Structure 1
Amino acid sequence: MLKPPISRMGGKSKLRKVIIEMLPESTCYVELFFGAGWVYFGKEPSKIEVVNDVDKELINMFKMIKHHGPEMERLLKYEFSGRGIFEEYKNCTLEYLTDINRAIRFLYLINYSFASKGDHYGYGTTTLPNQKMFKETYLEPIRDRLQNTFVESLSFEEIIEKYDREHTVFFADPPYYETAGYNNEFGEKEQLILFKKLSNIKGKFLLTINDHERIRELYKDFNIKEVEVVYSVSRQTDARGKYKELIITNY
């Protein structure tokens, strides 16, 4: 299993083995909310694969890894973990950067920020700075994995409409219901649209989301599996611990 080049809030690192085991065979595999891509990078490639995310900087990073990985690795060799560098990247004007520099900026901010949120410099007294960015072959396996993949940056509605076939499997990992901390708004309205779209597809879907009464009510006619996940990255001790999540399928 490959590890993604970044982590993201709500990433499926702790659940991906369970999810992959539950995914049916597919000719076309589509991720509606790509994020870090834990499931995509962990599963065996399908014949056709599509990854989608509305975060333009995230998609630009994967695009640059796919097309300019060696140059990114060359430039990353000169970086190191520093608060000053972090603040420069955080506050720089994107329009003055090349696409490659934008990708490096995004990669740096995620890898060297607290909880991978990209806003506050992460440091500690018992752990080393993130070392993987300095490795010369850091991006090579990621680049190879992306070669035969369609990379999209559209709304999830558009992606479902474009790729829905009987032989398609959609993996949906949307922002959690009534949970703060995401860069893009995803409220009740968006959750309802997603529910209606998934309820009427020709193909199959696997949805992961936090355990919430409203979500259980919406998807009551589908198969719901309850799982527990341990979250340990939080500034507040009382926010750490086991949380229930739901894996919902139409098969």
Structure 2
Amino acid sequence: MLKPLISRMGGKSKLRKTIIGMIPEHSCYVELFFGAGWVYFGKEKSKVEVINDIDRELVNLFKMLKYHAEEVRRLMTYEICSRDIFSEYKNIDINSLTDIQRAIRFIYLLSQSFASKGDNFGYGTTGMPGPQIFNTENLLKIKERLRNTYIENLNFEEIIKKYDRPHTFFFCDPPYFETKGYKDKFTEEYHIKLRDLLRNVEGKFILTINDHKQVREWYKGFNIIEAEVGYSVCKDNKGRRKFKELIITNY
């Protein structure tokens, strides 16, 4: 299993073995909300693979890793952990950067920020800075993994309509319902649209989402498995607890 290069809110590091063990037989694998890609980087290759995310900077990162991993690796070796550099990257006009420079900026902001949100510089007295700045050995392995993968930057509706076939499997990890911290707002209307589309797909899907009364109502009639996962985005022990999640399938 490969370890993703970045961390993202709601990443499936704790659940990926369970999810991978549940994936049905398929020819075409599609991730609607890619994020860090814990499941994709952990599973065996499928005949056809598609990764999609609405975040333009995230998609640009994976494009640059697919086509220019060696240059990304070279430039990352010059980076150091600095509050000033973090501030410069955060406030720079990204339109003044090349696509490769944008990818470096994106990795830097996520790896050197608190909870990998890219907002506030992360620092501490008990641990070293984010290892992504200093360890780039994984880059070429990630490039090889991406070699034969379609990389999309579309909304989930378009992806489902383009790739839905009887032999397609969709892994869906949307922003959690009524949960703060996501960069892109995912409203109740979007959740309902996603549910309606998944209800009518020709292929199969796994959906992971927070255990919420409204979510259970939306997906009544589907197969629902409960899971408990320990997550923490807090500096103190009060925030270190287990959260209930749902794994929903149509098979």
Q: Is the 8 A contact 1:73 1:138 kept in 2?
A: no
- Letter in structure 2 aligned against 1:229: V
Measure how far apart 1:237 and its partner are.
Answer: 4.1
**Cα RMSD (Å) of the superposition?**
1.0
Q: Is the 8 A contact 2:12 2:38 kept in 1?
A: yes
Q: Which residue of 1 aligns with 2:30?
A: 30
Count residues with an aligned counterpart: 251
Q: How does 1:1-251 map to 2 (within 5 A)?
A: 1-235=1-235, 237-251=237-251
CA–CA distance in structure 1, aligned partners of residues 131 and 198 of structure 2 = 40
- Letter in structure 2 aligned against 1:174: P
User: Normalized against structure 1, the TM-score is what?
Assistant: 0.98
SS in 1 for 2:124: coil
Percent identity, aligned pairs only, is 62
Measure how far apart 1:136 and its partner are.
Answer: 4.6
- Identify unmatched segments of 5+ residues in structure 1: none
Q: Deviations over 1:181-230 (max 9, x none)?
A: 11111011000000000000000000000000111111110000000000
Runs of 4+ in 1 over 2 A off after TM superposition: 131-138, 235-240
Q: Is the 8 A contact 2:5 2:36 kept in 1?
A: yes
CA–CA distance in structure 2, aligned partners of residues 114 and 132 of structure 1 = 14
Q: Deviations over 1:91-148 (max 9, x none)?
A: 1011110000000000100011000000101111111112233235331011000000
- Identify unmatched segments of 5+ residues in structure 2: none
Q: Is the 8 A contact 1:19 1:39 kept in 2?
A: yes
SS in 1 for 2:244: strand
CA–CA distance in structure 2, aligned partners of residues 159 and 131 of structure 1 = 33
CA–CA distance in structure 1, aligned partners of residues 44 and 243 of structure 2 = 28
Q: Is the 8 A contact 2:66 2:143 kept in 1?
A: yes
Q: Deviations over 1:21-75 (max 9, x none)?
A: 0111210000000000000000001000000000000000000011000011111
SS in 2 for 1:139: helix
